[in-house]
Amino acid sequence: MRNGRLDGKVAFITGVAKMDSIGFATASVLAAEGAALAIVDISDQVHECAALLRDGGSTVSAHTADLTRADQVRRIVDEAVDEHRRIDVLVNNAGMAIYGDKETFKAIQDLDENDWDFGIAINLKTQFLVTRAVLPLMIERGYGRIVNVSSTAGPVAANPRESAYCAAKAGVLGLTRSLALEGGRLGITANAVAPGWIATGSQAEGEDAAGLNTPIGRSARPEEVARAILFLASDDASYVTGHLLIVDGGNSIQDYKGPAELYY
């Protein structure tokens, strides 16, 4: 169902290289609401995602970059502006791991400095660099919607052997709130979504089991997170800023997280 909530808007979305991901679902949902897209990833798979979106009738440009490098970030933002003339919506979704690589799980005492720096860079620095490059364009036009993808791990809870990830995702919330304060009187809102257990193509067996033990009894579908992002990216949320929207099926509010039949 199309409501046209983003008609005439241009959305810049990072982390769009897998068809079964939050990034691709977000691109699909925003495009269905009328947005033209600039989608970004470090992987060339972003071009396949763009082709699929174009097949559905969307206006899409695809860009590859290492978002931990400021020079490459500025290049792709310039490319997107050359293509679309402006950026109205920014979705900072990229994170967790580089496409094709596995996320590092180590206890803090075993985590070396390079692993820590990488975890902070890919999950937090990327959002800073992209936002810094896009924000002047929004300030100039007096309009912008920034949606940062955080996580329940970090701002709300934590997981063992994921200290860098949790620290970075907590940092995303701090960054978001600072942006909200700085952009509020300039026509720019900044919010974050905090996904819990999500049934993406990279979801591990243990994560799927955790999803089954949420109050709703399953992991979220990527498009369910995407629709939360859509709300914050649209003018339906014009008076919402600095907010963390948790999308976790109620998992963070329950004390007992084991099998429901043993307690509920």
- Could you list the active site residues? 165
Strand positions, DSSP E, 21-88 = 36-41, 60-64
Q: Which of 207, 183, 185 is CA-nearest to residue 196? A: 207
In terms of Cβ atoms closer than 10 Å to its own Cβ (0-12, 13-18, 19+), residue 233 is buried
Query: For residue 40, what are the contacts with CB-CB under 8 A and spacing of at least 6?
Result: 12, 13, 14, 15, 16, 46, 62, 63, 64, 65, 67, 76, 94
State the Cα–Cα distance between residues 114 and 124, nearest whole angstrom: 15
User: In Å, what is the CA distance from 91 to each residue of 95, 181, 236?
Assistant: 12, 18, 16
For 148, what's the count of Cα atoms within 13 Å in the CB-facing half-sphere?
34
Q: Which of 48, 144, 131, 133 is CA-nearest to residue 92? A: 131
